[in-house]
Amino acid sequence: MREVAIVGFAQSPSVRQDSVRNEVEILTPVIAEAIKRSGIPRKEIGFTCSGSCDYLAGVPFAFVQALDAVGAWPPIRESHVEMDGAWALYEAWVRLQIGDVDSALVYGFGKSSVGDPREISVAQLDPYYLAPLGPDSVSVAALQARALLESNGYTERDLAEVAARSLRNAKTNPNAQVKGDFEPDELLEAPYDVSPLRSHDCPPISDGAAAVVLAASDLARKVCERPAWITGIDHRIDAHAVGARDLAKSPSATLAAEKAGVGHRPVEVAELHAPFSHQELILRAAMGLGQEVEINPSGGALVANPIMAAGLIRLGEAASRIIDGSANRVLGHATSGPCLQQNLVCVMEVR
Amino acid sequence: MSDEPLTVLRSPLRLEYTYTAGETSSRFLRGFAEGKILGRRCPECDKVYVPPRGNCPICTSALTAEVELAHTGTITKFCIVNLPFAARNIEIPYVSASILLDGADVPIFHLIQEVPYDEVRIGMRVEAAWEKPEARTPGMESIMYFRPTGEPDVEVDLFEDADA
């Protein structure tokens, strides 16, 4: 495999509603910043790949407009995935394996505020048996949380502890949307949103964007002092139908972590894309991450959740720990689909 | 309950969105209410974009200089529409055309009226037919259509930027 590393990362602050700027205007400064941090001139970037969702934007081919932020004339090599930007990063990583280009720009963006993401998520469910019932994203996640509480001895307090830690970590993350010091007991006094989930167990609705620059072998070494080398990357999928799975477990996360080599050596920091508090507990168990692993120092998707960028942000945040010298082996994870259906695991190391 | 097999299932899904035009497009759309067509010039490439962009799609420079464009231009391409659209109550066939406004580097798209459809041609000079001032809104509908000016046709270089 060709060596590929993250050498630049930037993100917008997540906000509840950016009522002035459109997607392109949110994205443009983020892409410019990621490219600047990478040290690679924009015109020399060999491949561009984005992740976004037309259902979220409410416009067909929404990603085409976003190319204004890239500078796509004369024509560039460009692709798009109708998924979180983390999957765009996977495509770019595969593209760099071919060997004819040495760098790639990857970005993901989403303005969740223009629609109702809770209702929009119904459209991703199986269209025959589940979507006609109209269960929104929080209701579907609540089924999973209930399955976890009833099978593994976890309590609602465990969920509140995840939320309390995430909100506390968010205090040092300038891009976080919600943050603060809360005791788990205090959080448990709140009413249920959809039992057993309370609002602290659910992600905020966020507008935002993120961009990453990848570079291969010698170029990465030239432009970056401590490139975040991707030593393992894999994504796996569980059954689409939530009724066909044991929702308390995530076999696809287990398999992706195994294939990405998570267990070969200790992981210091893991950025897990767990939009709901209970999903962090499922993912930790699925990937075998013990108490010694620092989880979501950024606060994770519970404190900033720009849909289609939140997974890429996990990879970027984890990579930043290598680049800034505060860790030597990290894990970035992204999820997609209902109840952790799809999982992508990316292990990055210093060399 | 019928014993007939179920062959069709209707499951309507309705989603509502609040569109954000963005900073640059908002300026452009508000211009129509004042009877203006507003574009922006790229400080690097010197190209004038209408509708304006926040940044140049070629060099990504921020487009800060606003340009008020002429209400006249030249047809660079067109099509004759023979299908009725529910949203558009116009007698068919009619012509939709790309119009390069004088001073702009990219064409806009609009209706051509006040001329038989089979007399429209590339290079034809046209001008905007505006709604009355009191009927103008922040949107391109404030220009009802474009119509011929009667000036002589001009040469259109369709492939000017092909080697850019």
CATH of the domain at A288: 3.40.47.10
Measured between CA atoms, how close is A60 to chain B, in angstroms? 13
**Are A274 and A127 contained in the same domain?**
yes
Can you tell me the distance from the alpha carbon of A311 to that of A301, in angstroms, rounded to the nearest whole number? 8
Q: Is residue B123 part of a domain?
A: yes
Q: Which domain holds residue B50?
A: 23-148
pLDDT of residue B164: 38
**Are A71 and A191 contained in the same domain?**
no
Which of A23, A24, A43 would best serve as a mutation to test chain B binding (most B beta carbons within 10 A)? A24
Of A114, A312, A341, A103, the C-alpha closest to A237 is A341
**Number of compact structural domains in chain A:** 2
pLDDT of residue A112: 94
pLDDT of residue A303: 98
Higher-confidence position of A95 and A59: A95
Of B50, B114, B107, B49, the C-alpha closest to B75 is B107
What sign has the CA pseudo-torsion A262, A263, A265, A266? positive
Query: Which residues does chain A have within 8 Å of residue B6's beta carbon, measured at their own beta carbons?
Result: none
**Are A152 and A236 contained in the same domain?**
yes
At A204, phi and psi to the nearest 5?
-75, 160
Measured between CA atoms, how close is B102 to chain A, in angstroms? 23
Confidence category of residue B159, pLDDT binned at 50, 70, 90: low
Where do the H-state alpha helices sit in chain A? 23-38, 54-57, 62-66, 85-98, 117-120, 137-152, 156-169, 184-187, 217-223, 251-259, 277-287, 310-323
For A83, which DSSP code?
S
Measured between CA atoms, how close is A72 to chain B, in angstroms? 6
Q: Which domain holds residue A64?
A: 4-117+205-228
pLDDT of residue B160: 62
- pLDDT tens per residue, range A81-126: 999 999 999 999 999 999 999 999 999 999 999 999 999 999 999 9
**Number of compact structural domains in chain B:** 1
Question: How do beta strands A207-216 and A103-111 pair?
Answer: antiparallel
A29 lies within 8 A of chain B by CB: no
Give the pLDDT mean for A222-235. Answer: 98
Q: From residue A98, give the alpha-carbon distance in Å to each of A38, A46, A76, A140.
A: 21, 12, 17, 40
Question: Do B111 and B81 touch, CB atoms closer than 8 A?
Answer: no
Can you tell me the distance from the alpha carbon of A67 to that of A95, in angstroms, rounded to the nearest whole number? 19
**Are A147 and A289 contained in the same domain?**
yes
Counting DSSP H helices and E strands in chain A, the numbers are 12, 12
Q: Do B11 and A42 touch (CB under 8 A)?
A: no
> Between A and B, how many CB-CB pairs are < 8 A?
71
Residue A197: CA count within 13 A, CB half-sphere: 25
At B119, phi and psi to the nearest 5?
-105, -5
pTM over 0.90: yes
**Are A249 and A170 contained in the same domain?**
yes
Mean pLDDT for all residues in chain A:
96
Query: Which residues does chain A have within 8 Å of residue B57's beta carbon, measured at their own beta carbons?
Result: 67-68, 71-73
Q: Do A123 and B13 touch (CB under 8 A)?
A: yes
Measured between CA atoms, how close is B51 to chain A, in angstroms? 13
Query: Which residues does chain B have within 8 Å of residue A55's beta carbon, measured at their own beta carbons?
Result: 15
Question: Do B141 and B110 touch, CB atoms closer than 8 A?
Answer: no
Higher-confidence position of B164 and A32: A32
Of A137, A173, A36, the C-alpha closest to A339 is A137
Question: Do A293 and A287 touch, CB atoms closer than 8 A?
Answer: no
